[in-house]
Amino acid sequence: MNYVSVSFTHKNTGIEVREKLSFSDPEKKREILRLIGANENIIESMVLSTCNRVEIFAYAINPSIATKHILNSISIITLVPYDALELRADVYENEGAIHHLFSVASSLDSLVVGETQIAGQLKEAFKFAYDNGDCGNNISSAVHFAFKCAAEVRASTQISKNPVSVSSVAVAKAKEIYGNIGGMTAIVIGAGEMSRIAAQHLINAEVNVIVLNRDLQKAKSLAESLGDLASFDSIEKLSEYVNRYRLIFSATGALSAIITDEILEPKDFHRYFFDIAVPRDIDISENEFIHVYAVDDLEEIVRTNLALREEQASVAYAIVGRSTTAFFKWLLSKSSTPAIKALRQKAKDIALNEIDKAIKKGYIRNCDKNEAKKLVHQVFKAFLHTPSVRLKEKNSEDVLSNLEYLFDIKIQKDENLEGDLK
């Protein structure tokens, strides 16, 4: 069995294609998982879809067949041509797939290294797939190790201290434009996590924030959590607000643009639109007074932050490498357990049988049977120590098959690698 990861991120895919690949909609995500799982070669699968990435993580019999089927499934649902997907996708197998998963969980592969949102997004992606019956113990094991790795990275480095997210980078860009944005008013559209982070950074800069959302209760809850500088209103008044204020931040879950040229009025002051949603919320024409910054446009600020975090990232990658090695060592240990059990049971059965024969022939007395059992137990325990260690260090289908043939044993194969992952 093999772990496979098919990855589309800000590194290999532009926002125009990424927004087509978005599986943030639950029904669309459920459909891609159903289509992927329809291939008997793929045992388990999980989809992680954020504003900067779409990751398909799978456990499969043949990684090459799995990759082709995953790309074809994505193409069927998104209508992005297969060849275009194949050209852009980063594909990882086994150690590479696990290393990539751990890097993603540790926020080392994020647009903004060290941002903390990804851990929660990965947890939600796993829970969705698990609850939907699309993944089981094999992906569960990998994800749990990924969380352990991410926790060690956070504890051992400063990479997530004063975290920077795409939302905070957008606010930083606004500060760069105006110098001091304190006292200004900003519109934040949406009441989700990205909007909350943007709003909080704006509040910290002493900006008045107006939250717009379809669900007024959610808008109210977010505004109340932000304090006295925040208020809220219905998104139905969107046109009124975007034509009145200079700073607009949008991060809704809409499947198509909500701010278009049709709702904009000509104004003689500069307006700055920060689109931090995927798919994009904003589809407007820029001119001397209208300026739009999408996720990909924020990379310049991100690169500056990356340079500051480079040293810490190297430490973090070392942790990811060790965690990847530890995971596969754990897998070997788990997969070798049935073989070790079978070997020891065979040795025990032979020993007990030979003791009974020795008693019948008078070689040992029946009253010494327990002592003889203890002795032979120690003998086969010592004899099997080295094979047991070697099996935990390295085994394969060929090794296990040879063991079955040489010792005339039947090894119970366990595809579901369960264990104490807490």
pLDDT higher than threshold 70 for residue 415: no
pLDDT at 178: 92
% of residues, the chain, pLDDT over 70: 90
367 classed as catalytic: no
pLDDT at 388: 72
233 or 120, which is more confident? 233
Confidence of residue 365 (pLDDT cuts 50, 70, 90): confident
26 or 278, which is more confident? 26
| Mean pLDDT, rounded, for 155-166 | 73
| Mean pLDDT, rounded, for 197-219 | 94
What does the block give as tokens for 331?
A: 């897998």
Q: Which residues make up each annotated binding site for NADP(+)?
A: 190-195
Confidence of residue 367 (pLDDT cuts 50, 70, 90): confident
Which one is catalytic: 51, 135, 149, 367? 51
Rg over CA atoms, the chain: 29
pLDDT at 335: 65
pLDDT higher than threshold 50 for residue 129: yes
| Mean pLDDT, rounded, for 1-8 | 94
Confidence of residue 83 (pLDDT cuts 50, 70, 90): very high
CA distance 218 to 224: 10
pLDDT higher than threshold 50 for residue 416: no
Which residues lie across from 59 on neighbouring strands?
3, 44
pLDDT higher than threshold 90 for residue 328: no
Q: Which residues make up each annotated binding site for substrate?
A: 50-53, 110, 115-117, 121
Is the CB of residue 295 less than 8 Å from the CB of residue 276? Answer: yes
pLDDT one-digit tens code per residue, 380-405:
778 877 877 777 666 666 676 677 76
| Mean pLDDT, rounded, for 260-276 | 95
Confidence of residue 336 (pLDDT cuts 50, 70, 90): low
Tell me what the pLDDT averaged over the chain comes to.
87
pLDDT higher than threshold 80 for residue 300: no
| Mean pLDDT, rounded, for 142-158 | 92
Give the domains, in start order, of the chain with CATH numbers: 2-162 (3.30.460.30), 166-293 (3.40.50.720), 330-407 (no CATH)
Q: Which residues make up each annotated binding site?
A: 50-53, 110, 115-117, 121, 190-195
Flag the least confident range among 66-80, 267-281, 357-371: 357-371
Confidence of residue 334 (pLDDT cuts 50, 70, 90): confident
> What distance lies between CA 350 and its chain's CA centroid?
49
pLDDT higher than threshold 70 for residue 47: yes
319 or 312, which is more confident? 319
pLDDT at 413: 59
| Mean pLDDT, rounded, for 298-302 | 67
pLDDT one-digit tens code per residue, 178-189:
989 999 999 999
